[in-house]
Amino acid sequence: MIDFFALSLQPRNPQIRLGYPAPTSVLPVCAALIRGASVPDNGRLFLRYLLSAQGQQVLLQPELSRYPIDGRILAGVPDHPLSRHQPLITERYDYDAQQSRLRYELVNALFDQLITFRLQELQHFWHRYHETAMRLADDSNPKWQADLARARELATTVPFSAEQLGDERLLGQFARYQPGIPLTSEQQRQQDRWRRESADRLEQALRLLRGIADRRAVQDATEEGAD
């Protein structure tokens, strides 16, 4: 999840733990004065406060748990959770704002099709996957381990290549869904393909898990009969 959500819950829920992936990326949270604001002077005062030493300290409060933009502020609180996590971020992605802008709508569409609209199916699969993995933790059967690895590969394959992410013409065909505004034919075609291919892969992955469970049950029954 987003780090500051987890960190802001930790004071009340000490069992919550957060680990950053490596490499990872740290993205800025934006604050801006809205053009045409009714009280722009107050907006400017707020932005100045936000960037001040006092405002930066406020960001460190446990209920917010945000990184301040002033590294000196963070360095002054070595016991803060964000300070303790900082050394774990040893490798970072280079953030390309222009590339992010071009890919934004496509990535949102991909996320919705692969995760948002299929959440229950994915939860069912990953429950079975982890259940199967635990049962095989002490089993070295190469066939079962290979099937388990293949199931994970199928379930995590993204039906969109890195090369396609460099196709600006294709990226320009994507837009956020809005009621009453039709998608471009290219976006609709891509989304239909993503849904179809992802559903097929997940079903293949589930068949592999069911096959492992069936063979394991037969083995257990045989061993019990031998006893």
Q: What is the pLDDT of residues 45-56, one digit of tens each?
A: 999 999 999 999
Torsion angle of C-alpha atoms 62, 68, 74, 80, degrees rounded to 10 = 20
For residue 24, give the nearest of 100, 72, 97, 95 by alpha carbon.
95
Omega prior to 159 cis, within 30 of 0: no
* Shared domain check, 103 and 75: no
* Shared domain check, 55 and 129: no
Omega prior to 23 cis, within 30 of 0: yes
Domain housing 140 = 97-226
* Shared domain check, 186 and 79: no
pTM above 0.95, yes or no: no
Q: What is the pLDDT of residues 84-141, one digit of tens each?
A: 666 555 566 677 888 889 999 999 999 999 999 999 999 999 999 999 999 888 877 8
What's the number of domains the chain is made of?
2
